[in-house]
Every structure is written in C-alpha cells, then in structure tokens.
C-alpha cells in the first residue's frame, strides 16, 4: 500500500485538529464540511476506515513520533 509523505500527513493532522477546534467553537456547517473532507483524506492517505484510526496511523508514520498506547482508541 502506498503511504502519504510524512509532510502531507503532518499537514493533514494539523488541518484536522484546527478544523475540529473551529467546529467546536462555532459549529458552522462550513467547518463541519471541511472537517469531514480532511478526515476522509486522512483515511484514504493512511488506508484506514475511520478518522481515529487514521490519526493514529498518521502520527505513527511521522518522523520523531513517539510510540504510545493506542489501546483506548482501538476499542
């Protein structure tokens, strides 16, 4: 399977986190659509089917990522 370049993954994770915060603050439909688009792109880029798994996979593939226990997210 092809994996996205770490720079692309880093930008996608940053966009997702920013949009998630924006949506939490204002709840706009536009922020929700953009959040959904970035979540979908993260899933495609990491070969996963949900955004939590995509974020875990992306973070593990980033240079300098520290291993941590993802068992709570795997639930």
Judged against a pLDDT cut of 50, whether residue 75 lies above it is answered with no
Looking at the whole model, is its pTM more than 0.85? Answer: no
C-alpha torsion 3→9→15→18, nearest 10 = 130
Token readout for 40 is 């979908």
According to the model, what pLDDT value does residue 42 have? 94
66 or 23: which carries more pLDDT confidence? 23
Token readout for 8 is 């692309």
């Amino acid at each position: 399977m092809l994996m996205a370049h770490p720079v692309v993954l880093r930008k996608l994770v940053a966009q997702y986190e920013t949009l998630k915060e924006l949506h939490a603050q204002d709840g706009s439909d536009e922020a929700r659509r953009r959040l959904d688009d970035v979540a979908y792109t993260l899933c495609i880029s990491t070969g996963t089917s949900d955004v939590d798994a995509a974020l875990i996979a992306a973070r593990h593939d980033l240079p300098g990522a520290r291993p941590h226990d993802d068992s709570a997210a795997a639930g």
